[in-house]
Amino acid sequence: QVQLVESGGGLVQAGGSLRLSCAASGRTFSNYAMGWFRQAPGKEREFVAAITWSGGYTYYADSVKGRFTISRDNAKNTLYLQMNSLKPEDTAVYYCAARYSPYGGLWYDGADFGSWGQGTQVTVSS
């Protein structure tokens, strides 16, 4: 399994921006499709964004479309989530996840991902 470590979370005012990073190790990062998920207190985990192994295709939840951008740098073994125009309802623990997918494919169901990071807290104040 690939190991994942998120960073970049913090406290930001509504309308602000943050960039999350997810550093991967232990396996060939470019063999994995990746995703970002989040979980707010008292709520179920929800899908945020996904990207293919090459970065050529992306997919977003409607709630973040146009505000968040998922990207990856396979040379640096790192996944990113650029979050702009943040809202208080974006407050959650954000997790990156990996699915072995060397031949392509895009997933957005958490059950399809085999590796998860420990999460990073994002808090958006109003």
Q: What is the dihedral of CA 85, 89, 91, 96, to 10 degrees?
A: -80
Handedness of CA 108, 113, 119, 120 (dihedral sign): negative
Amino acid at position 89, single letter: E
How many CA atoms within 13 Å lie on the side-chain side of 64?
A: 25
pLDDT tens-digit series, residues 55-105 = 999 999 999 999 999 999 999 999 999 999 999 999 999 999 999 998 889
Q: 12-71: per-residue pLDDT in tens?
A: 999 999 999 999 999 899 999 999 999 999 999 999 999 999 999 999 999 999 999 999
Amino acid, single-letter form, for residue 42: G
CA distance 91 to 88: 6
Alpha helices (H) along 41-122: none
